[in-house]
């Protein structure tokens, strides 16, 4: 009571694209009278019975929803069991004083006197703790918890505490990251860690031969969890390996690049490359936990930070907020929460997740035209510029120029144009773009005529 459920709940439902149901409201609707009068006229036990029935109904419907339970609902063993069976239960963190502040003077039957209120809070606390699958104190925190993502400075030194389950762990580490952070991660994982596997640094790890090597080396059983310490290349390889080994074992990335923390380790897409192209073989495998420690970025080379900043700017444009201006830790948290929400709404990439491709159709064309020598961040910066210009958002295009300083690049024009026409997002031979109506308002599946596309791409090429 007073934790902020009825403010945060509906907002969370919108962010996750789910229906919002409050058991209190359901009881009132069914009985046709306010809860206070049910309490007053029929007594608390009668209300608890109605509440228990309402909770059972919404929890067993099998419909994704954000459900708000009343503060006393966990007094019911049936409700506790239904939650354990079919819900991700989020505990909103609030002190008794904050909660009292919110409920004092309201009509709530159990909020008449601060002493009794505090005692009730203390009484219920242990049931809340026992039922909680995650905790949060704000909207982003709720989204992150629901997605299984932890963002915490210093988390890399306390890894064992964040990995769910009790099974054995094996770790896949990027060869460039191992000397910097490998030992602390292994020490932090403690006794559950059975083996550590080093893979080539960066993109060179994302090949079938590395997956084969890991499949053969792994000794995990179905209850085990594969972890990865590295950037998007390492987490893509390890995630794909976890998705396929024994038809799927637990999966928990610890991203060490800005790209990894705001993008690659989030949302459950995993892949390896083929000679024929990037990310052509992969699987959807939602991580059991993503442990994001922004302090791991302290050793990241400037060029890699710039790759990540391009994705941060992309995310900010999609969110309609200047996320790139935030201090790094806050930036990472906000971007991770934004991507997590989009992916929770569209986990299998069948609809609105396409918005995350903002700027990427042009970026991929430039990368191809450069023989894949152009860094991804530079390509995305240029791609964002093109997308914003085609969206008619000149101010935002100017902002991207200021923040990311994209320079036209020397690439093979014909190869770039051919790649644009072949992009994964082409449907029936027509290129489909992500543009913005305004910051925060993406439009996916926009088809433009060939001349506009060609002109926009040409403007990025020197």
Ligand X SMILES: NC(=O)c1ccc[n+]([C@@H]2O[C@H](COP(=O)([O-])OP(=O)(O)OC[C@H]3O[C@@H](n4cnc5c(N)ncnc54)[C@H](O)[C@@H]3O)[C@@H](O)[C@H]2O)c1
Check residue 180 for interaction with ligand X (CB under 6 A).
yes
Q: Which of 144, 145, 296, 388 binds ligand X (CB under 6 A)?
A: 296
Nearest Cα residue to 241 out of 209, 267, 263 = 209
Q: Which residue has the tokens 């390896």?
A: 272
Toward ligand X, which CB reaches closer, 75 or 176? 176
Shortest spacing between CB 288 and ligand X, in angstroms: 16
Toward ligand X, which CB reaches closer, 1 or 243? 243
Check residue 9 for interaction with ligand X (CB under 6 A).
no
Q: Which of 232, 250, 253, 383 binds ligand X (CB under 6 A)?
A: 232
Window 89 to 148, contacts with ligand X (CB under 6 A) = none
Strand-pair partners of 447: 432
Check residue 383 for interaction with ligand X (CB under 6 A).
no
Window 137 to 176, contacts with ligand X (CB under 6 A) = 174, 176
Shortest spacing between CB 379 and ligand X, in angstroms: 12
Q: Where are the alpha helices (DSSP H) in 218-266?
A: 232-244, 258-259
Check residue 299 for interaction with ligand X (CB under 6 A).
yes
d(CA 453, CA 458): 8
Check residue 206 for interaction with ligand X (CB under 6 A).
yes
Check residue 257 for interaction with ligand X (CB under 6 A).
yes
Q: Which residue has the tokens 């950037």?
A: 231
CB atoms near residue 410 (< 10 Å): 11
Check residue 264 for interaction with ligand X (CB under 6 A).
yes
Q: Pseudo-torsion of CA 62, 69, 8, 328, nearest 10°?
A: -80
Q: Which of 25, 104, 201, 446 binds ligand X (CB under 6 A)?
A: 201
Part in contact with ligand X (CB under 6 A); list of ranges 35-43, 261-269, 283-291, 393-401: 261-269
Part in contact with ligand X (CB under 6 A); list of ranges 58-66, 70-78, 127-135, 259-267: 259-267
Part in contact with ligand X (CB under 6 A); list of ranges 18-26, 155-163, 264-272, 444-452: 264-272
Check residue 357 for interaction with ligand X (CB under 6 A).
no
d(CA 18, CA 35): 25
Q: Which of 24, 210, 263, 396 binds ligand X (CB under 6 A)?
A: 263
Q: Which of 202, 224, 439, 442 binds ligand X (CB under 6 A)?
A: 202
Check residue 259 for interaction with ligand X (CB under 6 A).
yes
Check residue 177 for interaction with ligand X (CB under 6 A).
yes
Toward ligand X, which CB reaches closer, 136 or 172? 172
Shortest spacing between CB 316 and ligand X, in angstroms: 16
Q: For residue 181, what is the DSSP state?
A: I
**What are the Cα distances from residue 102, in Å, to 5, 106, 118, 321, 347?**
11, 8, 13, 29, 36
Radius of gyration of the CA atoms of the chain, in A: 25
d(CA 259, CA 313): 12
Are the CB atoms for 270 and 282 separated by under 8 Å?
A: yes
Residue 378: its H or E element: helix 376-390
Q: Which residue has the tokens 């997590």?
A: 340
Q: Where are the alpha helices (DSSP H) in 91-231?
A: 96-103, 114-131, 139-147, 183-189, 208-217
Residue 266 buriedness (CB in 10 A; 0-12 / 13-18 / 19+): buried
Q: Which of 24, 68, 236, 399 binds ligand X (CB under 6 A)?
A: 236
Strand-pair partners of 172: 197, 228
List interacting residues with ligand X (CB under 6 A).
174, 176-177, 180, 201-203, 206, 230-234, 236, 256-257, 259-260, 263-264, 267, 269-270, 278-279, 296-297, 299-300, 304, 307
């Amino acid at each position: 009571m007073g934790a902020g459920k009825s403010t945060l709940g509906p907002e969370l439902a919108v962010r996750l694209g789910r229906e919002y149901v409050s058991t209190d409201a359901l009881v009132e609707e069914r009985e046709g009278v306010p809860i206070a009068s049910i309490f007053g006229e029929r007594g608390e036990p009668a209300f608890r019975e109605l509440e228990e029935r309402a909770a059972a109904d919404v929890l067993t419907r099998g419909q994704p929803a954000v459900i708000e339970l009343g503060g006393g609902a966990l007094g019911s063993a049936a409700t506790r069991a239904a939650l354990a069976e079919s819900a991700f239960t989020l505990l909103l963190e609030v002190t008794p004083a904050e909660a009292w502040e919110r409920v004092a003077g309201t009509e709530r039957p159990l909020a008449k006197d601060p002493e009794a209120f505090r005692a009730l809070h203390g009484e219920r606390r242990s049931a809340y703790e026992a039922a909680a699958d995650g905790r949060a104190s704000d909207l982003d925190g709720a989204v992150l918890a629901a997605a299984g993502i932890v963002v915490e400075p210093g988390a890399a030194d306390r890894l064992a505490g964040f990995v769910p389950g009790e099974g054995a762990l094996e770790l896949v580490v990027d060869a460039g990251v191992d000397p910097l952070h490998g030992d602390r991660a292994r020490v932090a994982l403690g006794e559950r860690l059975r083996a550590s596997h080093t893979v080539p640094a960066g993109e060179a790890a994302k090949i079938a031969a590395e997956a084969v090597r890991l499949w053969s080396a792994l000794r995990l059983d179905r209850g085990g969890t594969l972890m990865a310490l590295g950037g998007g290349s390492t987490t893509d390889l390890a995630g794909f390996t976890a998705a396929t080994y024994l038809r799927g074992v637990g999966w928990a990335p610890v991203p060490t690049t800005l790209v990894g923390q705001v993008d690659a380790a989030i949302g459950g897409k995993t892949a390896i490359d083929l000679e024929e192209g990037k990310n052509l073989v992969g699987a959807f495998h939602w991580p059991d936990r993503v442990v994001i420690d922004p302090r791991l970025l302290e050793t990241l080379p400037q060029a890699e930070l710039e790759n990540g900043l391009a994705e941060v700017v992309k995310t900010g444009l999609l969110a309609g907020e200047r996320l790139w201006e935030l201090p790094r830790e806050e930036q990472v948290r906000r971007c991770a929460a934004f991507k997590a929400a989009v992916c929770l709404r569209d986990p299998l990439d069948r609809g609105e997740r396409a918005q995350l491709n903002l700027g990427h159709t042009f970026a991929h064309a430039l990368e191809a035209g450069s023989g894949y020598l152009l860094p991804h961040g530079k390509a995305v910066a240029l791609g964002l510029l093109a997308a914003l210009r085609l969206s008619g958002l000149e101010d935002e295009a100017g902002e991207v120029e200021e923040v990311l300083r994209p320079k036209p690049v020397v690439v093979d024009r014909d190869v770039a144009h051919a790649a644009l026409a072949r992009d994964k997002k082409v449907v029936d031979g027509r290129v489909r773009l992500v543009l913005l109506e305004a910051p925060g308002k993406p439009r996916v599946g926009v088809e433009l005529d060939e001349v506009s596309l060609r002109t926009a791409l040409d403007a990025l090429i020197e």
